[in-house]
Chains A and B, each alone.
Chain A
Amino acid sequence: MTQEAPPQEQQKKKIFRTAMLASVVVVGMFGFAFALVPLYNLICDVTGINSLFTQEKRIRIDADDSQIDKSRLVKLEFDATINGDLDWEFQPTQRSATVHPGQMMQTTYLLKNNTDQVISTQSIPGVTPWQATEFIKKVECFCFETQTLQPGEAKEMGLTYVIDPDLPEQYSTVTLSYTIMNLDRSSIVNGGQNDAAKVAELNK
């Protein structure tokens, strides 16, 4: 700059620059919140913290019995939960199974729609303790697909799984839990509205 601007003008410029810089940070941090979503999923995937993202990996196992670890048995417990107040029935046909790691096993879950509506649902798995998540391999699972049931329809759904022989020794009992969720989300948010009568009842 050849000509020195008057101090008032200079200060105005400096104020503008600082305010702009701060605004850029604000916009950036707003974006950062959204960037956290893929970042979080990535971290969960890499570290295997969250079962949601590892279940997608279907595995293929050859009919080869050489990997079966006959030296130990793991107890696998099956659990079923219905999310929210969906009027369905959902339960495992078998409460638990004692299996050798490496052995391919099959079980089924029962699902029944008691409502008078066609409803699509999705099952979300969870493993306890979560450290065992990546060792429960699913060859075929109803949780890979959306389940749509007609009013009153019942269905037996298959699950084929293998427990990885690499499962650390300290886990002798593992629980595999499925939560069934209504995919019709208008019922989730508007559920509040439908409950207005219930609220009025409570607030009386």
Chain B
Amino acid sequence: MVQSDLDGPCQSMTGASVTLSMAPLPTTLVHNRRRASPHVVIWTTLAPMGRFSFLEWPVVRQLRTSDTTARSSATVSEHTRQITSRNATADHVVSSVCPYCAVGCGQKVYVKDNKVIQIEGDPDSPISRGRLCPKGAASEQLVNAPGRQYHVLYRAPKAKDWQRLELSKAMDMVADRFIETRRRTWQDADDQGRKLNRTMGIASLGGATLDNEENYLIKKLFTAAGAIQIENQARI
């Protein structure tokens, strides 16, 4: 049996003859485009409509329309005719750039009710011409990942597990520690009396996944604070 990822007409043709004995599948599968196999399409053509129409017989449809080779409109079921791309339901589409490697492929972000519903390649991009690799194509799941964290967590010294903490409280605690460490580890000058004006007690790692504007603020703030051990993936 051919299992195709393609939507549309060619599906029902390729597998039609072997699918009739299949038991009806849960309708949720029908809505899952990735798993929509040919037999599902056939079944839904007949069953949910609840009525039988001679005109809807595939072979009649084939004769009735100009689709004599049954590779186009004749094979489109009522169900397929009724479904639309989820992207068509988006409130708006936003231009973006893939967050993985450095090729910089263009992305179109489809948004509905302040939720990202899909991310696809941007055909306008002269770099990527609409293409995305498996990672870029999966980036909707990066946004909506099941393991994504939405809350600040804190692990106290010697503690065996996390605890929740208010965002502003956590930032206050980090700011206090930052100032305290900076004070404690400050170096005014070296042993020859030459100015150092720095702390070696604070370090940072990361930046290659961040925006230029973010790296700019990070470097600016840390440098003004005298922290020099600021590094990112470019060293690795």
Q: Is this pair of chains taken from one and the same complex?
A: no
A residues touching B (Cβ–Cβ < 8 Å)? none
